[in-house]
Amino acid sequence: MEYSAPGMFDLHRKVALVTGAGSGIGAAIALLFARQGARLVVVDVTDSAETTVAAIRAGGGDAVARRCDVAQPDEVARTFEDVHAQFGRLDILVNNAGIAHVGTIQQTTPEDLDRLYAVNVRGVFLCSRAAVEIMLRHDGGVIVNMASIASLVGVPERFAYSMTKGAVLTMTMSVALDYVKRGIRCNCICPARVQTPFVEGYLRRNYPGREDEMRRALEAYQPIGRMCTPEEVASLALYLCSDEAAFVTGQAYPIDGGVLVA
């Protein structure tokens, strides 16, 4: 009798929702999960979600787009209700949507703080709460939050951003502890700098004519000598959302090119 082992990191029959999946890390996660067999709900605040869905379908995957501002309770509630109505379940949530801010405490206004809190903290809270309510009706599930190296160590001129990512880290541990007996795992990923369209846009806006110089400075922050790629973050997310990580919950996973050991 020939034995055929199932493939590792198989997500067939899984329904996965990824926020901020119109580009960058979120798009890379959605594309990889689709290749592994998941049915994707691609969420973004803009119509860019449609671009990711088109790429998934072009590769033979199954995906739908949903436009949603994760900071708005009504929009989040409606999105998750629609997902449950359409698919009947939700197995995976990746809270990837987030925004950034550069500045010390003196360079941070109350409006800056509120803006980052709304997306990076309240958005994770709203989506996680909605997901947990669906997951508890079925067979549990997995939540992966996108934190940051800034939630583990100090990063210069990232006061507001670090505050929000520290909150993501502690929310991760709380959800993991509260639902460990009820079939829900929750972990977070803590990347150092990642080569995304956001980074390139930041360089163009703030350092016109000096993009290459400043990109090298960003790369040098990681002892490995380069920035992380969205696909490398996606691979870690795949592991954490797969059955191969069934014993892993409440953890913060750095993907930092050696920052923490330097």
CATH number at residue 157: 3.40.50.720
Q: Phi/psi of residue 201, each to 5°?
A: -65, -40
Give 1's pLDDT tier (boundaries 50, 70, 90): very low
57-65 CB contacts, 8 Å cutoff, 24+ apart: 59/31, 59/34, 59/35, 61/31, 61/34, 61/35, 62/34, 62/38, 63/30, 63/34, 63/39, 64/40
- Flag whether 261 is in a domain: no
Note the residue count of the chain.
262
Q: Phi/psi of residue 203, each to 5°?
A: -65, -40
Q: Where are the beta strands (DSSP E) in 33-112?
A: 39-44, 62-67, 92-95
Dihedral over Cα of 36, 42, 46, 47: its sign: positive
Contact between residue 172 and residue 236 where contact means Cβ atoms under 8 Å apart: no
| 161 is an active site residue | yes
- Flag whether 22 is in a domain: yes
Contact between residue 59 and residue 34 where contact means Cβ atoms under 8 Å apart: yes
Three-point CA angle 72, 73, 79, nearest 5°: 90
**pLDDT exceeding 90 applies to what percent of the chain?**
92
* Stated pTM of the model: 0.94
Give the residue numbers spanning the domain of 22: 15-192+228-252
Three-point CA angle 158, 191, 32, nearest 5°: 135
- Flag whether 221 is in a domain: no
d(C-alpha 10, C-alpha 135), whole Å: 19
Strand partners, 15: 39
- Does the pLDDT at position 3 exceed 50? no
Express each pLDDT in 84-96 by its tens digit. 999 999 999 999 9
Q: At what angle do helices 159-179 and 123-135 cross, to 10 degrees?
A: 20
Sheet holding 184-191, edge to edge: 62-67, 39-44, 15-19, 92-95, 141-146, 184-191, 252-255
Q: Which of 3, 117, 161, 202 is catalytic?
A: 161
Least confident among 2-11, 103-112, 208-217: 2-11
- Flag whether 9 is in a domain: no
Express each pLDDT in 7-46 by its tens digit. 899 999 999 999 999 999 999 999 999 999 999 999 999 9
The total domain count for the chain is 1
Express each pLDDT in 199-249 by its tens digit. 888 888 888 999 999 999 999 999 999 999 999 999 999 999 999 999 999
- Flag whether 36 is in a domain: yes
- Flag whether 219 is in a domain: no
**pLDDT, position 161:** 97
**pLDDT, position 2:** 41
d(C-alpha 172, C-alpha 177), whole Å: 9
Closest alpha carbon to 255 in 239, 168, 246: 239
- Flag whether 66 is in a domain: yes
Residue type, 108: T
